[in-house]
Amino acid sequence: MSHPVAPADRPAMWLIGPLSTDVGWLRHSNRLAMDKVISKLTPQQALEVVIRLSDKGGAIRDAVLAEAGNVLSEFDLDQIADEVFFVLDSVDVQDCWNRAGKSRDGYTSPDEAAVELFEEQLEPFFDQAGRYHELGMTKEEATYCRGVILGIYRYEHESKAEFREWSVDIPVECAGNLLTRWRERNQNSASNAAMDAFIRDRCPNWVRCLLRTGGRC
């Protein structure tokens, strides 16, 4: 005579099979709402979900792409400026000291170390500006670049951090580098005129440097 298999003895098939084959537990669970499931995903898992949805094609893919575009567009200039200022203002001058000096690659002066640190903090922002261009989002690219430039400008004029004293000429040079890259990618005269007007309005002390000498005062 066969005996019913106790729940504890049943193989947990959903644990070893693809997640998409059995999601019934979600419907019957009163303990975990769907929004909590999403919030518990790691960044890598969330990316995998987006990729799988996009791969389904059709209306699902269109919806994913539309939302991706919305997310990329949901920022404002001053928000980016705040982020840039915070990142730069958080640099510890001790990191500069630790990087300076002799090493296997030779000698690094404090000034050189300061440049390296400054550029490293800005690299993610510069890369993001480039991604906007690659996506053909020229309006967002221009706005994002303005935000980054304004954040660097604010750092030069508002920061009280000790590291600021070791980066006297670095901010405007980095802003000039970003502006040069942007101009090389965007030849539209109206866009360039709008960028110049922005610099005159929001970064007045850099007009001579950025608009006449490309970041070199």
Same domain, 104 and 137: yes
Same domain, 99 and 200: yes
* CA distances from residue 178 to 10, 83, 149 in whole angstroms, order as listed: 61, 16, 8
- The pLDDT score that the predictor gives to residue 7 is 47
Same domain, 202 and 115: yes
Q: Which domain holds residue 39?
A: 21-74
What value does the CA radius of gyration of the chain take, rounded to a whole number of Å?
A: 25
The residue out of 34, 56, 74 marking a domain boundary is 74
Rounded (10°) CA dihedral 37, 41, 47, 50: 0
The residue out of 54, 74, 94 marking a domain boundary is 74
Q: pLDDT tens, 71-110?
A: 666 668 999 999 999 999 999 988 887 887 777 677 778 7
pTM of the predicted model, to two decimals? 0.74
Residue with tokens 């670049």: 145
Interval 8-35 mean pLDDT: 51
* CA distances from residue 103 to 99, 109, 116, 130, 159 in whole angstroms, order as listed: 9, 11, 15, 33, 30
Confirm whether 1 is domain-assigned: no
Same domain, 164 and 117: yes
Same domain, 40 and 80: no
6 DSSP 8-state letter: P
108 DSSP 8-state letter: E
**Torsions phi, psi of 108, nearest 5?**
-115, 120
Same domain, 80 and 130: yes
- The pLDDT score that the predictor gives to residue 13 is 41
54: nearest Cα among 45, 46, 64: 64
The DSSP bridge pattern shows strands 101-103 and 106-108 to be antiparallel
Q: How far apart are CA 73 and CA 46, in angstroms?
A: 20
Confirm whether 124 is domain-assigned: yes
What are the residue ranges of helices labelled H in 159-206? 170-185, 189-202
Same domain, 151 and 191: yes
Secondary structure (3-state) at 60? helix
Same domain, 93 and 154: yes
Confirm whether 12 is domain-assigned: no
Same domain, 40 and 117: no
Roughly how many angstroms between the first and final C-alpha of the chain, as a whole number? 93
Same domain, 170 and 93: yes
Confirm whether 102 is domain-assigned: yes
Residue 134 clears pLDDT 80, i.e. is over it:
yes
Confirm whether 215 is domain-assigned: yes
Q: How far apart are CA 147 and CA 166, in angstroms?
A: 23
Same domain, 58 and 86: no
Same domain, 117 and 60: no
Confirm whether 176 is domain-assigned: yes
Residue 6 clears pLDDT 60, i.e. is over it:
no
